[in-house]
Amino acid sequence: MEPVKTPSEREARKNSETSKKVIEAVLRDEGVLVKSSEDIERLSTRGYGVQKNEGLLLSFYEAMYLRAKGLININDEKTGKSIDFNDLLKKYESIEKNAWIKYLIYRDLRSRGYVVREGFGLGADFRLYERGEYSKDSADYLVYGVYEGMSLSIEDLTHILKHAQNLKKTLILAVINRRGEIVYYSLSNLTF
CATH topology of domain 16-93: MutS, DNA mismatch repair protein, domain I (3.40.1170)
Paired with 115 in beta bridges are: 129
Residue 153, pLDDT score: 85
pLDDT tens sequence across 61-100 = 999 999 999 999 999 988 999 999 999 999 999 999 889 9
Locate CATH 3.40.1350.150 in the chain. 99-187
pLDDT category at 55 given cuts 50, 70, 90 is very high
Indicate the length of the chain as a whole number.
192
- pLDDT at residue 4 greater than cutoff 90: no
Average pLDDT, the chain: 85
Paired with 144 in beta bridges are: 173
The burial of 108, by beta-carbon neighbours within 10 Å (0-12 exposed, 13-18 middle, 19 or more buried), is given as middle
Rounded distance, CA 56 to CA 89, Å?
20
Residue 63, pLDDT score: 97
Of the candidate CATH numbers 3.40.50.1110, 3.40.50.970, 3.40.1350.150, 1.10.10.10, the domain formed by 99-187 belongs to 3.40.1350.150
Locate CATH 3.40.1170.20 in the chain. 16-93
- Helix 60-68 vs helix 85-93: crossing angle, to nearest 10: 160
Rounded distance, CA 58 to CA 13, Å?
30
- Which pTM was predicted? 0.83
